[in-house]
């Protein structure tokens, strides 16, 4: 579909209506999604606890790109493009590792941990290695969470830091550790995965486990009294009760969105677990359970749920036009020991069953939107945020 046709389709899009089929099936639109959104936004790559020692690295992959996230010799976090400067081979082939040098297996060009070329055999006497380095993309670390941005001049990260630092402080995420990380492959265009995350209209029918404890599944039943009760306890527990939200469309801030919101869980539930009871020690400086939970967001496709005892970080990425990934990290205090302070299966249970269900419903959705008979339908009141997200998306890719 050419640019004019994409523009016309966007301009004709009716308000509060699901997206047209082309947004899920057209290869040119997909290319725009990647170039206009993914290659310009701050994206969650991982946590510093995954690269504790110098030379530790892991890969962050999306839409055919591969980035080596490595702790450099200068003890900094670097994000190096996994594309050899000789003839372009991938250099790191496993998902993670630890190395003093990054060696391309094709012809053995060797790079240091800053990405500078240090060794290249048979290149002749006058070959100058000094100007050759692996390409680097921007990184920022917010309380131990590593965010990357492919853009040459990304939107400044400072506003995100300023907006979230105070709210996130009590969790002390820089002192946390990834207790479990899992990637769920979803056979669906990435937007179907994100759209599903943006609404809780599907929670009651699709997530009985989640709906037992989380009031988002039934907001009309959430009383002002419950809200007040939890918010007053939040402060006593050292948690922030303020809500912040910045979603950008202007070029300056694009891709550096952030949001933080705390809200009550149903009475009797203090965290996201099978029985609503704690599954790990209180995080950071938090002094007790207030009966609430927090949603926060950095950039357009990286979300998190922060309970008093653990945090789950979600990131959605495209793999190809009809494939996406949902990557989830479960964080606990760094000194919490598996088997003693927490049971990994109990910790992971809720968001694993919930994501397995999400994968199923998203994949059925993907089959349906490809049908000859698919026609976009109207959105419900519980899909306000989905419409906000869709409107943002349509503006973001508009030629």
Structure letter (DSSP) for residue 182: E
Q: Which does 107 bind (CB under 5 to 8 A by kind): Fe ion, ligand FES, none?
A: ligand FES
Helix boundaries (H) for the chain: 3-11, 22-25, 27-32, 158-168, 190-197, 203-206, 208-211, 224-236, 344-369, 384-397
Nearest residue to Fe ion by CB is 358
* Binding at 89: pick from Fe ion, ligand FES, none (beta carbon under 5-8 Å per type): ligand FES
Q: Quick one: 109 or 314, whose CB is closer to ligand FES?
A: 109
Q: Please write down the HEC assignment for all residues of 33-85.
A: HHHHHHCCCCEEEEEHHHCCCCCEEEEEEECCEEEEEEECCCCCEEEEECCCC
Name the residue nearer to ligand FES (CB basis): 91 or 332. Answer: 91
Shortest distance, position 100 Cβ to ligand FES, whole Å: 18
Structure token pair of residue 327:
């990557």
The smaller minimum CB distance to Fe ion, of residues 69 and 326, is found at: 326
Name the minimum Å distance from CB 91 to ligand FES. Answer: 7
Rounded least distance, CB 216 to Fe ion, Å = 10
End-to-end, the C-alpha distance of the chain in Å comes to 12
Q: If 0-12 CB within 10 Å is exposed, 13-18 middle and 19+ buried, where does residue 394 land?
A: middle
Provide, rounded to whole angstroms, the least separation between the CB of residue 207 and Fe ion: 5
Contacted entry of ligand FES, Fe ion, none for residue 143, CB cut-off 5 to 8 Å set by kind: none
> Is residue 375 left, alpha or beta, with left meaning phi > 0 and alpha meaning psi from -120 to 50?
beta
**In the complex, which residues of this chain contact ligand FES (CB under 6 A)?**
84, 86-89, 104, 106-107, 109
Nearer to ligand FES, 106 or 364 (CB): 106
| Distance in Å, CB of 128 to ligand FES, minimum | 17
CA–CA gap between residue 279 and residue 276 (Å, rounded): 9
CB of 106 to ligand FES, least distance (A): 4
- In DSSP terms, 260 is beta-bridged to 244, 296
Residue (86 or 136) nearer to ligand FES, CB: 86
Q: Is the dihedral of CA 200, 314, 60, 392 positive or negative?
A: positive
**Residue 389 interacting entry, from ligand FES, Fe ion, none, C-beta within 5 to 8 Å by type:** none
Binding site for Fe ion (CB under 5 A): 358
Q: Which does 358 bind (CB under 5 to 8 A by kind): ligand FES, Fe ion, none?
A: Fe ion
**Which of 86/96 has CB closer to ligand FES?**
86
């Amino acid at each position: 579909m050419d640019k004019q046709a994409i523009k016309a389709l966007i301009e004709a899009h009716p308000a509060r209506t699901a997206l047209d089929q082309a947004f899920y099936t057209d290869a040119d639109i997909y290319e725009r999604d990647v170039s206009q959104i993914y290659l310009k936004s701050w994206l969650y790559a991982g946590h510093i606890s995954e690269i504790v020692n110098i030379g530790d690295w892991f890969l962050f992959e999306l839409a055919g790109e591969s980035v080596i996230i490595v702790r450099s010799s200068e003890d900094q976090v670097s994000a190096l493009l996994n594309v050899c400067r000789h003839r372009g081979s991938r250099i790191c082939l496993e998902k993670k590792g630890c190395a003093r040098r990054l060696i391309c297996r094709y012809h053995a060009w060797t790079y240091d941990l800053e990405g500078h070329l240090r060794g290249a055999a048979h290149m002749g006497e006058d070959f100058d290695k000094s100007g050759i380095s692996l390409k680097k993309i921007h990184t920022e670390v917010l309380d131990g969470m590593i965010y990357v941005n492919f853009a040459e001049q990304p939107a400044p990260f400072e506003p995100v830091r300023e907006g979230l630092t105070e709210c996130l402080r009590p969790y002390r995420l820089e002192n946390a550790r990834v207790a479990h990380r899992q990637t769920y492959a979803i056979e669906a265009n990435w937007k179907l995965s994100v759209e599903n995350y943006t609404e809780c209209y599907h929670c009651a029918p699709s997530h009985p486990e989640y709906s037992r404890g989380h009031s988002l599944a039934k907001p009309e039943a959430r009383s002002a009294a419950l809200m007040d009760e939890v918010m007053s306890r939040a402060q006593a527990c050292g948690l922030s009760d303020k809500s912040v939200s910045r979603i950008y469309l202007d070029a300056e801030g694009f891709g550096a969105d952030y949001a933080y919101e705390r809200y009550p869980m149903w009475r009797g539930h203090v965290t996201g677990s099978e029985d609503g009871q704690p599954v790990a020690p209180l995080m950071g400086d938090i002094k007790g359970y207030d009966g609430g939970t927090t949603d926060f967001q950095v950039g357009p496709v990286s979300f998190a749920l922060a309970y008093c005892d653990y945090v789950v970080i979600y990131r959605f990425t495209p793999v190809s036009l009809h494939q996406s990934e949902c990557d989830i990290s479960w964080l606990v205090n760094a000194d919490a020991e598996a088997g003693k302070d927490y049971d990994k299966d109990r910790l992971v249970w809720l968001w694993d069953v919930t994501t397995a269900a999400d994968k199923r419903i998203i994949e059925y959705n993907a089959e349906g939107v490809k049908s000859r008979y698919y026609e976009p339908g109207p959105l419900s009141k519980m899909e306000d945020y989905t419409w906000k997200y869709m409107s943002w998306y349509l503006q973001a890719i508009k030629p």
